[in-house]
Structure formats: C-alpha cells, structure tokens
Amino acid sequence: MSLSKQKKSLLFLLSSVKYSISMEENDHLIINHSQTNLNENISLTIKTTSNSSQDHPSLHIRMPNIKVFGGSSHPELTKLICARLGLEPGRVITKKFSNRETSVEINESVRGEDVFIVQSGCGEINDNLMELLIMINACKIASASRVTAVIPCFPYARQDRKDKSRAPISAKLVANMLSVAGADHIITMDLHASQIQGFFDIPVDNLFAEPAVIRWISLHIPDFKNAVIVSPDAGGAKRVTSIADRLNIDFALIHKERKRANEIDSMVLVGDVTKRIAILVDDMADTCGTFECASQKLLSAGASKVYAICTHGIFSGPAVSRINNSPFEAVVVTNTIPQEENMKNSNKIQVIDVSMMFSEAIRRTHNGESVSYLFTQMPL
C-alpha cells in the first residue's frame, strides 16, 4: 500500500470522529480533537515497508478512556501490567472494618471508562473474591462503560463438577456472582477445566501459559530435545501433547488414583523416560503431593533429571518443604500468584513472568482486536 493510500485510509477511518489532521514531512501525523472540551493530542506514526505483501500502517496510539485497578491479592502483578501499558494503576483504597467487612473506595472518576480490575484467586481467597465483587459493582454503578475482571488464577476452579452426592458446583456459583456484580468480560489463565467458560453468559478469554512454558524450556534446558513432557494425571494429556508437539519431543503420562482429596493412592507411568529428562507439566500445584510422588516414579523409571512446571503455584501446607526435599532440578511457576515468600524459602522455585500476556490481552480487548494470537505466541 502506498503512503498516499495510507493517508486516505486514515482520513476515512477518522472522519466519523471530529478530528483535524496534519501531515509533517517525516510522515508523522498530528491529530487534534476538534471539540473544545477535549485538548488531547494523539500521535500516530506510519511505517512503510518495501515489501508490498506486508505493507500496512503501524499506529502507535496512547490508549484513552481506560483505567486499570488492582485488588489487594497481587499488587505487584498490577504494577507490571500497568507499566507495560504505560499507565498508572487506578487509585483505589481497600480496607477492613473492625468486624472484618470489606470496604472499597474508588478514588477517581470511571464514568464512561473501560475499566479492568486485576485480582487473583490466592491468599485469603474468600476475602479477595468479595473485594473483587465489590470493586466490580462500585465501578458499574459509577457509570463505567465496561468492567472487565482480570483473574489470573480463577478461584474455586477445581470445584467444577458434581463428582459425588450433594457436592456443590462452586465454580458455577462464582461465575454467577461475577455476572451479578456487573462484570462484562472475564480474562483469566489456564482454567482447571476449559468448560468453566460455559458457566458464564458473558465473554471469557482463557489465556494459556503454554507459549511462556515452551520459551522457558527452550532457553533453560540445554538438552531439551532429549526430554519427555510428562502429565501427572490423565486430565492433563491434552496440555502435554500440545507442548510436546510444538517442541517436537515425546510425551508420557502418569495415571493416579486418589483415596481422598490431596492424597495419592497409586501411580502408573505410561511412556518411556529411561536416561531422559522428564518435565512434569500441570495447571496448578497445591500441596505438591502429586509432584512429589510423580518425581519418585520418574526417577525409579530411569529418568536422568526431573523438572516441574505449572501455571499456578498455590503451594499450601507442606508444599515448600516437599519441594526442598524432592529430587527436582527446578519447580517453575508463573506469577499469576505471588511467589516472593516461597522463593525465599526454596531455591528450587523459579518464576516465569506472564504480565506481558495480560497487558497485551487488555490492550487488544480495549482496542477491539482479536486475542487469539496470545493462545500460541508470547508477546515480547
């Protein structure tokens, strides 16, 4: 596309909103909103390439009408997301009354704004969930044009089905609560079961940590071509086959039977790991009982080294001590949950930063772009 055609395209696209446009000699556009009550300038840069098949204008625009607020569950992740977006975190005060009720104060206008609220399902889960619901409702009744809940680790995701008599489907209840509070859109990562998206009547973008995991393996395991991707249970078979296919290596899985929650009865390895690096991959690690038993099983089957990678490192109860006493070379998690304290207590725990995936999802959602690129690629 020629430069003149690009100019015409931009003029046509911007004609619906009253802007005045001037073109400088270095192809830098200055766009001024014609309404007197808005004195914002938006700078755009057109980059042209010699390859006509890849010709398209690249527009660098400051995102207007967007606010990103963070709850008290993971303030560091909120700061990282805002830093990548070039925004300041929204001003909000969260506190507890003496009777332990949650109080939220939104200290800036959100009228007509596209609001994103970052709150992970970790720590004091029930308090953080209630805080998220109150923040959503506070923004909604303050005339926010859209409220998106960014929930890196979805709470109650393991209670997604009625597996015994009188068992609740708590993940469905959480979905209903978020919708009733006023959420218009959900962004999350690696749901325990993808079907949880069906509990909502609003759009849900379930991002995958897979691109970040693949990048970590290729950069930090020199002999990864001699590795085997292992699922610690049959439910994760689809996840490990996808990673193994993209790395062009083999996979295996472990069939486990539980006596009760968080207690493993027996494990059976399906696949060959003899004299090879075994990389356990799962969506979450709670007490690490599964990882501990799986690592012993893999070593007894002849694996030379064992790594563990999971998206959500919950690490409750004896998890950290089990990691320290385990034969793992490293236990790698993303920062959907804060890991600062756990890293102080164990030198085996390493963290992959996924803030760029959430910030890019927020940017694309705000601009009305597709987020499907993030399902297979990791933004730099």
Q: Report helix, strand or coil for 134.
A: helix
Residue 262's pLDDT is: 60
Residue 268's pLDDT is: 86
How many other CB atoms are found less than 10 A from the CB of residue 362?
A: 25
CA 27 to each of CA 20, 55, 145: distance values in angstroms, whole numbers, following the listed order: 16, 15, 34
Residue 112's pLDDT is: 95
Residue pair 224/215 in contact (Cβ under 8 Å)? The answer is no
Task: Single out the residue of 57, 333, 336 nearest to residue 187, CA to CA.
Answer: 336
pTM comes to: 0.81
CA distance 160 to 51: 50
Instruction: Give residue 142's Cα distance to chain centre.
Output: 27
Residue 27's pLDDT is: 41
Residue pair 147/183 in contact (Cβ under 8 Å)? The answer is yes
3-state helix/strand/coil string of 136-175: HHHHHHCCCCEEEEEECCCCCCCCCCCCCCCCCCHHHHHH
Backbone angles phi, psi at 148, to 5 degrees: -110, 125
Residue 260's pLDDT is: 64
Burial class (CB in 10 A: 0-12, 13-18, 19+), 241: middle
CA distance 374 to 246: 15
Residue pair 47/67 in contact (Cβ under 8 Å)? The answer is no
CA distance 314 to 337: 7
Residue 264's pLDDT is: 60
The tens digit of pLDDT for each residue in 282-326 reads: 999 999 998 999 999 999 999 999 999 999 999 999 999 999 999
Backbone angles phi, psi at 94, to 5 degrees: -115, 135
DSSP letter for each residue of 218-236: HHH-TTGGGEEEEESSGGG
The tens digit of pLDDT for each residue in 343-372 reads: 999 999 999 999 999 999 999 999 999 999
Residue 10's pLDDT is: 46
CA distance 297 to 6: 61
DSSP assignment, residue 196? G
Q: Tokens at residue 228, please?
A: 């085997």
Task: Single out the residue of 228, 329, 318 nearest to residue 281, CA to CA.
Answer: 228
Which residues of the chain fall below pLDDT 70?
Answer: 1-63, 257-265
